[in-house]
Chain A
Amino acid sequence: MLIGYFTEQPYRGITEEQVLKHGSYFGISNSNFDRQLGSDLYNEYLDEFCYAEDLGFDAVCLNEHHGNPFCMSACLNISAAVLARITQKVKLLLIGNPLPAHGNPLRVAEELAQIDLTSRGRVISGWVRGSGPEQFFNNKNPSFNREMFEEAHDFILQAWTKPGPWRYEGKHFHYRHVNPWALPYQEPHPPTMIPGVLSLETVEWAADRNYPYLGLASSLGPTAELWEMYADRVATHGFQAGPENFGYLGMVAVGDTEEEAVELAKYFLFAHGNRLFARAEHTLPAGFNSEGAIKRLSSQASGGWLGLNREKIMGENLGKKDLTDDDLQIARSEIDAALQKMRDNYQIIAGTPEQVKERIETILRVARPGHFVFMNVQGDAGKDRRRKNMRLISEHVIPHMRKLAEELDLPSQYQVKPGSRQLASGQSRTRVTYPEILQDLEVA
């Protein structure tokens, strides 16, 4: 099993009230950005990733968003380049480069090769389409998002593996001279991992390539269903999926007492967490999602990915609003209720080390991932509390997980190559998840 550490690297100088009033993190004016604090935080997060290495995590995980205090990391390859030099052994799990937003896959191929070389082969290169706001921020046509993503991905693999120089005339990208001098340290190229939040199209795309799929704190029941679909798809190519094909990112808060852990876990939902990542009009720009995905989202009465539901998608822009004290009180009650619900369905794990060990054991038994990523809290919880959380995970939870991974046979993609379990002709695949365990536990 590969165990990673992740943080969205939240900007910690804004209040919940600011986000709630604006109606989202995305779009809050950068006149609220404190340069000194920003400088401190970028350095603190780099130090935090080094601390994760010291604590025995196998990987540090980086992502990026743009123009958003929810996630300060706007250029994950820059952080990865720094970490390539200042860490020694952790894998650099990039989840991932938003290829359509970058708009220059040859440049991405060069950057990643340079990082992989500097780190002496520690890159796991994830690819993403980017979220809706990324299309606005980078002014990338959402109607071409998926095809740009797929073309850029295919191009990068070629740039890394096909001897140059050669010419490329694609649909969205065109190059006269493809010959990146620096090639990745790992041959033929770094391994990958595709993060996602219950998108069927993304799961199918990943399965077609035997790319491990990382579920981003999705509810455990639907996650298991989706992973069976992934396994079905892999089986159509003649392979049996295994734990090496799956990863799960969990929001985990550990405390000396349950009360302390729950207080910390509230920061995962700082200003409603990713539910207020962006407003509906920015999350779902026209053309960004397939017709099927829009139908699914617009039939969803409540909850939903990034807080989207029928009412928001089909309604008017919400816009800014003035909040009264009562409104704030209501928002806080909703956040408390959401926390309980997310704890119940295993999206957030909070408790003492013993409680957390038990909950994570359930995840491992139900979903059987070969990769598990711990996400630290959002908001302004502060350096000491963040680090204490990491330390408790490292001291108490990770040793238990490693033992369990041996017992349950949960190899990572470094132990078993995805796509190496071939199915004989006519042989049916075996199941990859055990959701009935949740029924025994009476989890919805």
Chain B
Amino acid sequence: MIDNEDCVEIDVTRLVVRKRGAGKPLLILHDELGFPGWMQWNDVLGESREQIVPLQPGFGHSEHLDWLRDYRDLAAYYARFVRQLGAPVDVIGFSAGGYLAAEMAAIDPGLFDKIALVGPLGVRPAHGEIYDFLAVTARTHVAATVSKQDAPEFSKIYGGKMGPEQFMLFEAARAETSRLGWQPFMFDPSLPALLKGVTNETLIIRGTDDLICPLGCVEAYESALPNATISSIEGVGHRPEIEDPDAFIRLVRNFLS
């Protein structure tokens, strides 16, 4: 299976992109803690899709871009990347990556074909609050993302003692997230109004035990997007893709097929 890391030049900037698999392109937008590496669900989808994961500026080896001030800035920057890639593409965005996908769609719905949002942040919850993960330590933040800490893939990537290198990566990711999403915290007040014009087929996936993204958030998305449906996965938290990969894969495969 092809697995590589490219540097894509967008104007004078360089965006690091991880790729895996072959087939119709699928853009994957990682969450606020960064790309966790290829998981089981990637192995399965990689059989029929080329998965393309840009590493957000300031995360991993992607250069920090000082002029980025909010998720809409980032969305406009990523829109250029998708146009270079060849729009439209299917997209799946996780948490802050879902926020980013929604902002991109609001800027230009033609960037995407189908849109999957997993525990997406980005809109003011109809009720409840987005969990303030910047007011807790990195370890507490990571732990809050799952309801099943013993899920095999979670244990594999985040279990055990956190090493200094991993801690610094988390802190860099959290610092970038703070730059873009500190206030209002991880939502854009004008996004729901702009999403009214996004008619793409959209699937919103949420774990029923999600602590980070409240039910009110996905409900707000559902009422803003004209063609969206919500699918819940029972008994999992904010990372259904690693807490219950089988259920997650079923939903995503059906949706993208």
Residues of A within 8 A of B176 (CB): 143, 287
B136 is an interface residue with CB less than 8 A from chain A = yes
- The DSSP consensus for interface residues of chain B is helix
Give complex CA distance A294, B171 in Å. 9
Complexed CA–CA distance, A142 and B132 (Å)? 14
How many positions in chain A have a CB within 8 Å of any CB in the partner chain? Answer: 23
Q: Does A56 contact B (CB under 8 A)?
A: no
Assembly CA distance A136 to B174 (angstroms): 15
| CB-contact partner of B179 in A141, A291, A294, A317, under 8 A | A141
A142 with B139: CB separation less than 8 A: no
CB of A426 within 8 Å of the partner chain: no
User: A317, B178: Cβ atoms under 8 Å?
Assistant: no
Q: In the complex the two chains form, what is the Cα distance from A280 to B167 in whole Å?
A: 14
A287-B175 contact, Cβ under 8 Å, with A298-B164, A314-B167: yes
List chain A residues, Cβ under 8 A from B134. 285-286
Q: Is A313 part of the contact surface with B, judged by Cβ < 8 Å?
A: yes
Q: B166-200 vs A: 1/0 string, CB under 8 Å? A: 01100110111111001100000000000000000
Name the B residues within 8 Å of A298 (CB-CB). Answer: 164, 167-168
Check A314/B135 contact, CB under 8 A, given A141-B179, A142-B178, A286-B175: no
Chain A contacts for B162, CB-based, 8 A: 314
List residues 84-109 of chain B with CB under 8 A from any CB of chain A: none
Mask, A266-301, CB within 8 Å of B = 1, is 000000000000001110011100010011001100
Complex contacts, B254 vs chain A, CB 8 Å: none
Contact indicator B164/A143 (Cβ below 8 Å): no
The interface residues of chain A, by DSSP majority, are classed as helix
Across the two chains, which residue of chain B brings its CB closest to A280? B137
Interface residues of A in 113-143 (CB under 8 A from B): 136, 139, 141-143
B143 at the interface (CB under 8 A from A): yes
Q: Is A144 an interface residue (CB 8 A)?
A: yes
Residue A316 lies at the interface, judged by CB distance under 8 Å to chain B: yes
Q: How far is the CB of A119 from chain B (nearest CB, A)?
A: 36
Question: Is the Cβ of B174 less than 8 Å from the Cβ of A286?
Answer: yes
CB of A315 within 8 Å of the partner chain: yes
Using known A-B contacts A280-B137, A281-B137, A286-B171, determine if residue A316 contacts B178 with beta carbons closer than 8 Å: no
Given A136-B135, A287-B174, A316-B137, A141:B164 Cβ within 8 A: no
Partner of A143, one of B135, B138, B167, B179: B179
Interface: B140 (CB within 8 A): yes
Measured between beta carbons, the chain B residues less than 8 angstroms from A317 are: 136-137, 140
Q: With contacts A141-B178, A142-B182, A286-B177 known, is A291 near B168, CB below 8 A?
A: yes
**Shortest distance in angstroms between A55's beta carbon and chain B's nearest beta carbon?**
43
A142-B182, A143-B182, A314-B162 known; A291+B139 contact, CB < 8 A: no
Once the chains bind, are A143 and B168 in contact (CB under 8 Å)?
Answer: no
Binding site for B on A (CB under 8 A): 136, 139, 141-144, 280-282, 285-287, 291, 294-295, 298-299, 312-317
CB<8 Å pairs between A and B, sample of 10: A142-B178, A142-B182, A281-B137, A285-B135, A286-B134, A286-B171, A294-B171, A295-B164, A313-B137, A316-B140
Known: A314-B162, A315-B139. 8 other contacts (CB 8 A): A281-B140, A286-B134, A286-B174, A287-B174, A287-B179, A314-B164, A315-B137, A316-B137
